[in-house]
């Protein structure tokens, strides 16, 4: 069976695109929530030729439910030849992490995003174990795209084993290698961090870069720095013409 990493590479090759759509929408009051699913389905219909995968997070799981509207969206995503990534940012004790992953995988997701801050033993190990057993992928947060990321992911830490001072995100990149992650998240807003992390990971672990567009990250700059995939949300979902917005971003990555 193909690993998630290989499946992503094949999807990107088939679609000729490194783009991942973050299917995010603003809060809606109760009387408008039925429109969320309809809007998501319509955007997928027009955007799917230009993307390789779709990332879903709490913007949709909270109002739609994972075994109701979200499961319908995942079925649509898979039917369009795309992969579905759950941005759960898993960050709890091991038993809870495993259960969270099992539910999302039961809903059809191909991979899950997790936070390495919780560590390995009785932390992310159970999540990795169930992901491996079900042949799903794990992507680790390494440096997020918002300005406050420097307060956590950018802080300097002392390695508990070696006593060496190192940036937190460098430690997380090394953990991605050690734990066998399929990918890491490094914001498109920090291309210098993308390049540094890519230098650590090489071709063993892929780099997923969110923050293109609305947060100020540039697609071409992130790709040149070493990103394998670009995660784009509001620049597409909030556009009056989502297909055109996706095409414009995709075009900017060509001939790099």
Q: Report pLDDT digits (tens) over 110-152.
A: 999 999 999 999 999 999 999 999 999 999 999 999 989 888 8
Round to whole Å and give the CA distance between 256 and 248: 15
Catalytic sites, residue numbers: 89
**CATH topology for the 4-89+105-114+140-252 domain:** TIM Barrel (3.20.20)
Check: CB of residue 205 under 8 Å from CB of residue 177.
Answer: yes
Check: CB of residue 188 under 8 Å from CB of residue 145.
Answer: yes
Element (H, E) at 185: strand 183-186
**3-state secondary structure (DSSP) of residue 224:** helix
Model's pTM, two decimal places? Answer: 0.96
**3-state secondary structure (DSSP) of residue 25:** coil
- Domain ranges for the chain, please list them: 4-89+105-114+140-252
What pLDDT, in 10s, does the model give residues 77-90?
999 999 999 999 99
Round to whole Å and give the CA distance between 90 and 57: 11
What pLDDT, in 10s, does the model give residues 143-170?
999 989 888 898 999 988 888 899 999 9
What pLDDT, in 10s, does the model give residues 192-240?
999 999 999 999 999 999 999 878 888 999 999 999 999 999 999 999 9
């Amino acid at each position: 069976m193909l690993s998630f990493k290989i499946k992503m590479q094949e999807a990107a090759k088939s679609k000729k695109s490194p783009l991942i759509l973050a299917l995010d929408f603003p809060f809606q009051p109760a009387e408008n929530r039925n429109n969320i699913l309809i809007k998501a389905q319509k955007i997928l219909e027009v955007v799917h030729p230009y993307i390789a995968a779709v990332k879903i997070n709490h913007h949709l799981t909270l109002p739609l439910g994972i075994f109701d509207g979200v499961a319908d969206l995942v079925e649509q995503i898979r039917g369009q030849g795309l992969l579905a990534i759950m941005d759960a940012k898993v960050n709890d004790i091991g038993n809870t992490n495993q259960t969270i992953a099992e539910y999302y995988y039961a809903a059809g997701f191909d991979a899950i995003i997790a936070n390495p801050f919780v560590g390995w033993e009785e932390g992310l190990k159970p999540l990795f174990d169930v992901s491996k057993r079900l042949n799903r992928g794990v992507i680790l947060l390494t440096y997020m795209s918002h300005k406050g990321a420097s307060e956590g992911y950018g802080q300097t830490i002392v390695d508990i084993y070696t006593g060496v001072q190192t940036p937190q995100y460098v430690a997380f990149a090394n953990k991605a290698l050690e734990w066998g992650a399929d990918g890491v998240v490094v914001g498109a807003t920090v291309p210098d961090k993308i390049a540094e992390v890519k230098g650590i990971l090489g071709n063993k672990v892929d780099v997923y870069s969110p923050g293109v567009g609305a947060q100020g990250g540039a697609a071409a700059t992130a790709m040149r720095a070493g990103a394998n995939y670009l995660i784009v949300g509001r620049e597409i979902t909030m556009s009056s013409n989502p297909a055109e917005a996706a095409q414009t971003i995709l075009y900017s990555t060509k001939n790099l």
